[in-house]
Amino acid sequence: MTNTVTDISASQLGGANLFNLEIIKKYDKAGPRYTSYPTAPMFHTGIGAKQYRDTLQRVASDDAPLSLYIHIPFCNTICYYCGCNKIVTKQYDRAEPYLKLLLKEIDRVADNMRDKHGNDCQRPVTQLHFGGGTPTFMHNDQMRAIMNKLRSRFQFVAKDDGEFSIEIDPRECDEDTVAVLEEIGLNRMSMGVQDFDPIVQKAVNRIQSKEETMRVLSEARNHGFESMNIDLMYGLPHQTVETFNATLKTIIEFSPDRIALFNYAHMPHMFMPQRRIDEAAIPTPQEKLNILEHSINTLLDAGYVFIGMDHFAKPEDELTIAQREGKLYRNFQGYSTQADCDLIGLGLTSIGYTGGGFFQNEKDMETYAAAVEADEFAVFRGYILSDEDHLRRQVIMRLMCDFALSYEPFETAFNINFKEHFADGLADLQEMVTDNLVELREDGLSVLPAGRLLIRNIAMVFDEYLQKKKEGSNFSKVI
């Protein structure tokens, strides 16, 4: 159920029509990023430890590979823009009891995925991601302990055949750390930069020099990391096209394999640290749009391919190749090439997608610890997808990844008439057709260049739950 797509060039994305402020204002409403469908607000507490245990046992002998996500919640300083689940502390000794909980949880999951003969799960692990928080808050021996435990209970593919990644903070990472990350089998690295401008950094409380960032990136290259991703953010206080251009030039000169250009979503009612940001210093909508336009054109001119939403990759990168071949996938880590995996979430707040259901661990450390120490799963909510959910999940997935839909594969796989089944959604797209965002055909639809910036809006018309609510107050704005 795939569509092949053509790489978008700078000339195709450029032009006033793409960055028409009136069109952007018209569609710039709150909406999901669709790292899952149904989205997290639909998760409920009717799903818990029993359902998770039963699911793990049911899928233990499936053929599809596994993806593991390990959440390290600690940060030693707080970045005011951050909306992640984290624990801010300078007490590094807090990592040791958390490590013990993680190791115990890993055993608990693995024990419930044994086969009928009592052997550990043989499903290959092709993807691993350490996220946070700041995973490098853990010291080197603690990282070794986590990987040793994982490798002792799960079957990892060879390092060159898998995607084994970690998010790092260069302020928490020296050459020894990079060497250890390579030693334990990681081959990909993602680093938050946001902006190198010192005024912007001070305003968001993330002081991170260009020199220390480039040092860690260079060390990672020297230690053979295959793929490097840099996170940037537009819409932060005091940013202008000119100041942000300096950051872009530095990053492009280093030439990472992937670049994520995130929109800063100012939602202080949901994220308390954002209340420390001076709202008067946030760029105007026009300036923010100017930064986005300049950034996209600059990255395209530098040879990057616009993968979608806020992601760019080199033409030879696996993400670009996967999109070109219609094999791109989207999960809680963003865009991915690992389409057929069951995702196992480990650690505080982590979310997995396994056996057709979402399962999320407790967000409170004491509650999470109590469950794990009692030899129980810490899952407190989730969602089991219906047949209709699976259909809509696939439609939204392919839109977000391919920017096109062919109706026939969905009709065959789900035994529907696409245009009849989604009559309301297709009717909602008519205005976007008029605004040159979407092209509707008899056998499918295509997202036009200007529509790529508003792909979340296009996907939203196929979201059954969002259409029922007719609002998206829990989500960030799309631009």
- For the chain, the structural domain boundaries read 10-33+387-469, 40-345
Mean pLDDT of the chain: 91
Give the pLDDT mean for 87-104.
95
Entry pTM: 0.92
Is 64 within 8 Å of 363 (Cβ atoms)?
Answer: no
- The average pLDDT across 244-262 equals 95
Smallest CA-to-CA distance from 293 within 241, 222, 219 is with 241
Is 80 exceeded by the pLDDT of residue 9? no
CATH topology of domain 10-33+387-469: Arc Repressor Mutant, subunit A (1.10.10)
Q: What is the mean pLDDT of residues 349-361?
A: 97
Euclidean distance between CA atoms 378 and 376, whole angstroms? 6
Query: Sorting pLDDT into bands at 50, 70 and 90, what band is 286?
Result: confident
Packing angle between helix 140-153 and helix 175-183, nearest 10 degrees?
A: 10
Which amino acid, one-letter code, is at 32?
Answer: P
pLDDT in tens, 259-272: 999 999 898 988 88
Q: Which amino acid is at 97?
A: P
Q: What is the third-level CATH fold of 40-345?
A: pyruvate-formate lyase- activating enzyme (3.80.30)
| Contact criterion met (CB below 8 Å) for 81 and 194 | yes
